Structure formats: C-alpha cells, structure tokens
C-alpha cells in the first residue's frame, strides 16, 4: 500500500474527500493537484521545472482536434431532440407493434436505439420518449414500474451505441481511434438491444396483463400504408446514421468531420419537419456551450491532478496494487468493473473517464488487454450510472416529466431489473471479448523476425557491371571510367605493344 510512499494514497484520498464534500469536480481536482504540487516541491519529489509541463498540457487540450467532435455531436443531438423526429418514429412504431402484448415497450426499445444512433445524448432520448410514451402506456394498463423502467433503460442505450460521447472521450483518454471504438461498440449495442427485447418477450408471456396490447380503435388497422409510413420515417434517420458513422468506418471523414456532417444533416431534418427556427438553434447552441465548457474545465482540472500524481509516482503505485490482483487479466477486469460501478453512484461518466481511466489504462496495457475492448467494456458499465440511485440522471429526467400519479419509488424500483440486464452485458463482454474485437480490422499479423530483405542481383556480392566497359560486351557506365594507373606506386607495368 505504501511501497511508493504515503503521498500518492493521500492525494487520491484528498480528491475523494473534496468531491464527496460537494465542490465542483473541475476545481476540486485542480486544487488538490496544486496543493500536492507544493508538497512535492518541498519534499523533493520534483523541482519547479516539472510544472512547466502544465501550460503545455493545457494547450494540448485546447488544440485537440478530436475533442471538437464533442460540441458537434452535442449540437446535433440538441437539434434532433427538438425537431420532432422522435415523435414521428414513436407514433408510427407504436401503432405498428401496438396489437401485441408489450408492443409499446418494443417500440420504445427500437426507437431508443435509433435515437441513440443519431443523437448520442441520454437526456434527449429519455425525455422525448417519456413525454410521448409514458402517458399512453399508463392509460392503457401498463405496469408503472415496467413502463418507467423500459423508457429509462432505452434512453441509456445511447451511451453504448455510436456516436456516443462516452466513446469519444474514452478514445481520447486511451489514445485509440474513435472509429475503432465505434466499431468495437457495435457488438455490445446489438447484444444490449437483444437482451432488452428478450426480457419484454418473456415478461409478455409470463405476465401479459402487465403490458396489454393497445385497443384497436387506438392503433387502427394494420396496413401497408402504415408500414410504409414507419419506414419512410426511418429513412432520414438511416441516412443521417450513414452520414455520421458510415463516413468514419469507410475512412472518408474523421470523427470531427463526421460530427460536422451530422450537424448539417440534423439541421436539414429539422427543416424537413418544418421546425427549424431561431429559438431552436439558440437553445441547441446554449446546451452545447454548457456541456462543452464543463468537459473542458474537467479536463483542465484532471490534467493538473494527473501530472502531479505521476510526479509523485502515483501511476506506479496504482499499477503495483492492481497488477497483483489474482485471476490475471480477467480478475483485473472484474475488480475494475466493480470499482467503476461503485464510483458511478457518486460520479458521472465524464468525471470517471477523465480521473480514473488514465490511472487504469497503463495497468490494462501491461496485462496485455486490448484497450479498445477495455474502453468499450467501461462504456457498457457506465450505462448503469444513469440508472441507479442516488444520481441516476435518467431517473431524474423521467421524474421531471412524469405525472404526479407515478410514484418516485416506482421509477427507482422499475429501474432495478434493467440495471441487472446491463450488468449481464458487462459479464458477457468480459468473458467474450470477441463481442468487441470481432468487428475490428486488425490487419495482417507479421512477425518482425521473419522479415528478410533481398536485393535482386547482389547474391552476396555487389554485382556491379565493369565501370570501364570490357571485351565481354558488358555495358559501360558513363562518367565512371577509372583513370590510368601508370606511374602510381605499386601500379602494374603497362602492357607490351
């Protein structure tokens, strides 16, 4: 515990105390970092010159092109949240699946996945689906816990489905490509949607009265016109998904450029729905500015803390403690996921990504763990931070738009089965890494020791043609004729005439 001195654990403990006390995270991290920087200079851990790296790190944050993807994706989600696309999707799919038990729940899961792929924000998905679907579900006999749980959980799928902001941040902290993180998240995204759908299917068979079908006068008759309407409502979403993700996967655009394309696509969709107004743009810009400023300030605070922490040998202390966990890489992953699950009760995903991940990534790399797999696994785990008390933001969003007839206890109790399903996915990804790595293009594997460089025509000796030409018809290289050697010391006598 104290093999590297008492200062690294004291610094970590100081950070935890500051945040539990309620100070803003960004300023807490910076304050702890600067305080222990003074201690580090006084105790001789490093000199004042060590802190000259701090301004360079700040400049690196502000000049990081990858982080530009965050305001782009945030702005895109804010515009789509207000343009009416979700309402159209929910109305059509609700009528399409409404005739079967749990039909509205299926529609919510499907639309939640689509919204996750085009907005990337939990708040937009949960609030939109809660406003539209929750009153209808409750009016026609859905169990309140089931209705609130499926809406909250379907909104949190956004955390895993690209273009998730969490994946962008994790890619930056792990030093990996955002495109690879997005590809790695495809498998867990599909698995998460499948698990949710199977839960609704089983529940509709075991307890059909908890999720009855909609009356025929509400859903109308099934017709090809309805199916075409639903499909046409999804076509713009599919086009936008390709515009954002397809260009990244095909190598046509960087994540930042794809985010800019997504913003243009979102504005076009809002115009198509006749909801593109200046108040909409102004609200979206305000939301984007708020989130981006928060992210940058947390990054500045965390880089101040991490620089001093490394100067105190804190990274070696963390690696020393975690490398000895029994079970090898799997034991390490189980411990880390339990640790992050507990932290998520008190911290949001930005704080976990900027504070904890830089400490854990070197240990994971030293154990031979693929950092893309590691990052996607952490992202899957951090879904739960939106679903469990006391700071489950998806539950807060739902409470803010639910009627007074819906008890807060029902919202919290309804979330528990879905948290369990998210933890099931965490276990699947730990013990089945191919669910992430299958989608990655690792390229051909070459053993450097097997590489041989052969130069044609050399055969062990330099096979240069005679420089002065010869009787054998070999070519003469112009300008490389040797001068006569007569008269030089040790030169052979000239040939007899």
Residue 420: the pLDDT is 92
200 lies in the same domain as 135: yes
Both tokens assigned to 183: 């590809």
Q: Render pLDDT for 454-488 as a digit per residue (tens, 0 to 9).
A: 665 544 444 445 544 444 444 454 544 555 555 55
Residue 489: the pLDDT is 52
119 lies in the same domain as 139: yes
102 lies in the same domain as 32: no
114 lies in the same domain as 234: yes
Q: Which residue did the predictor score with more confidence, 124 or 464?
A: 124
Question: Is 130 within 8 Å of 121 (Cβ atoms)?
Answer: no
Q: What angle do CA 387, 432, 176 make, to 5 degrees?
A: 75
Distance CA 283, CA 82 (A): 9
Q: Specify if 46 maps to a domain.
A: yes
153 lies in the same domain as 181: yes
HEC profile of 192-261: HHHHHHHHHHHHHHHCHHHCCCCCHHHHCCCCHHHHHHHHHHHHHHHHHHHHHHHHHHCCCCCHHHHHHH
Instruction: Work out how many domains the chain is built from and give that number.
Output: 2
Q: Which residue did the predictor score with more confidence, 390 or 402?
A: 402
Expressed as residue numbers, the domain containing 49 is: 7-65
Q: Specify if 447 maps to a domain.
A: no
158 lies in the same domain as 210: yes
Other beta carbons within 10 angstroms of residue 268's beta carbon come to: 17
Q: Specify if 55 maps to a domain.
A: yes
SS percent in the chain: helix, strand, coil, step 5? 70, 0, 30
Q: Specify if 308 maps to a domain.
A: no
Residue written as tokens 């965050």?
Answer: 70
Question: Is 363 within 8 Å of 316 (Cβ atoms)?
Answer: no
Both tokens assigned to 43: 């105790």
Most confident of 154-158, 245-249, 336-340, 466-470: 336-340
60 lies in the same domain as 105: no
Among 86-90, 262-266, 457-461, name the one with the lowest average pLDDT. 457-461
Residue 462: the pLDDT is 47
Residue 220: the pLDDT is 65
Last residue of a domain, one of 15, 34, 65: 65
Residue 418: the pLDDT is 92
Q: Which residue did the predictor score with more confidence, 454 or 266?
A: 266
Q: Specify if 92 maps to a domain.
A: yes
12 lies in the same domain as 98: no
Residue 432: the pLDDT is 92
29 lies in the same domain as 108: no
With 80 as the cut, is the pLDDT of residue 281 above it? yes
Which residues have CB under 8 Å from 364's CB, separation 6+? Answer: 332, 336, 371, 374
Residue 443: the pLDDT is 52
Distance CA 29, CA 8 (A): 14
With 90 as the cut, is the pLDDT of residue 427 above it? yes
Distance CA 348, CA 165 (A): 13
Q: Specify if 459 maps to a domain.
A: no
CA distances from 277 to 31, 41, 82, 160, 237 (A): 42, 55, 10, 31, 20
123 lies in the same domain as 20: no
237 lies in the same domain as 262: yes
98 lies in the same domain as 225: yes
Q: Render pLDDT for 368-385 as a digit per residue (tens, 0 to 9).
A: 899 999 999 999 998 888
Q: Render pLDDT for 37-71 as a digit per residue (tens, 0 to 9).
A: 888 888 887 888 888 888 888 888 888 777 788 88
Last residue of a domain, one of 24, 47, 65: 65
What's the pTM value of the predicted model, to 2 decimals? Answer: 0.76
Residue 461: the pLDDT is 47
Q: Specify if 170 maps to a domain.
A: yes
Q: Specify if 279 maps to a domain.
A: yes
């Amino acid at each position: 515990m104290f093999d590297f001195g008492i200062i690294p654990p004291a610094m970590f403990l100081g950070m935890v105390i500051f945040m539990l006390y309620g100070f803003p995270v960004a300023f807490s991290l910076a304050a702890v970092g600067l305080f222990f920087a003074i201690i580090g200079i006084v105790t001789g851990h490093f000199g004042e010159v060590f802190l000259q790296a701090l301004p360079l790190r700040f400049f690196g944050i502000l000049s990081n092109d990858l982080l530009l993807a965050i305001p782009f994706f945030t702005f895109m989600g804010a515009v789509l949240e207000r343009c009416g696309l979700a309402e159209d999707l929910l109305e059509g799919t609700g009528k399409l699946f409404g005739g079967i038990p749990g039909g509205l729940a299926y529609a919510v899961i499907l639309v939640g996945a689509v919204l996750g792929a085009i907005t990337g924000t939990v708040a937009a998905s949960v609030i939109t689906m809660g406003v539209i679907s929750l009153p209808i579900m409750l009016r026609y006999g859905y169990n309140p816990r089931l209705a609130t749980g499926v809406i909250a959980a379907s909104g949190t799928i956004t955390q895993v489905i690209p273009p998730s902001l969490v994946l962008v941040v994790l890619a930056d902290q792990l030093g990996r490509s955002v495109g690879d993180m997005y590809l790695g998240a495809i498998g867990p995204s599909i698995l998460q949607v499948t698990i949710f759908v199977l839960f609704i299917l089983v529940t509709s068979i075991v307890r059909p009265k908890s999720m009855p079908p909609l009356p025929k006068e509400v859903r109308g008759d099934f017709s090809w016109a309805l199916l075409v309407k639903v499909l046409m409502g999804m076509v713009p979403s599919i086009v936008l998904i390709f515009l954002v993700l397809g260009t990244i996967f095909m190598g046509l655009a960087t994540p930042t450029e794809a985010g800019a394309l997504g913003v243009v696509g979102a504005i076009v969709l809002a115009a198509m729905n006749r909801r593109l107004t200046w108040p909409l743009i102004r609200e979206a810009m305000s939301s984007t500015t708020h989130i981006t400023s928060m992210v940058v300030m947390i990054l500045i605070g965390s880089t101040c803390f991490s620089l001093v922490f490394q100067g105190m040998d804190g990274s070696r202390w963390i690696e020393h403690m975690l490398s000895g966990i029994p079970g090898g890489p799997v034991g390490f992953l189980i411990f880390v996921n339990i640790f992050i699950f507990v932290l998520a009760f008190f911290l949001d995903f930005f704080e976990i990504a900027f504070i904890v991940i830089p400490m854990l990534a070197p240990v994971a790399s030293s154990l031979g763990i693929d950092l893309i797999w590691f990052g996607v696994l952490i992202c899957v785990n951090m879904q739960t931070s939106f679903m469990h008390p006391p700071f489950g933001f998806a539950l807060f969003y739902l409470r803010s738009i639910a009627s007074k007839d819906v008890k807060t206890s029902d919202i919290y109790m309804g979330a528990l089965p879905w948290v369990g399903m998210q933890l099931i996915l965490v276990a699947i990804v730990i013990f089945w890494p191919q669910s992430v790595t299958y989608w990655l293009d690792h390229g051909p594997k070459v053993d450097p020791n097997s590489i041989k460089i052969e130069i044609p025509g050399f055969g062990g000796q330099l096979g240069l043609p005679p420089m002065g030409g010869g009787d054998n018809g070999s070519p003469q290289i112009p300008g490389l004729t040797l001068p006569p050697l007569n008269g030089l010391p040790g030169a052979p006598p000239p040939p007899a005439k």
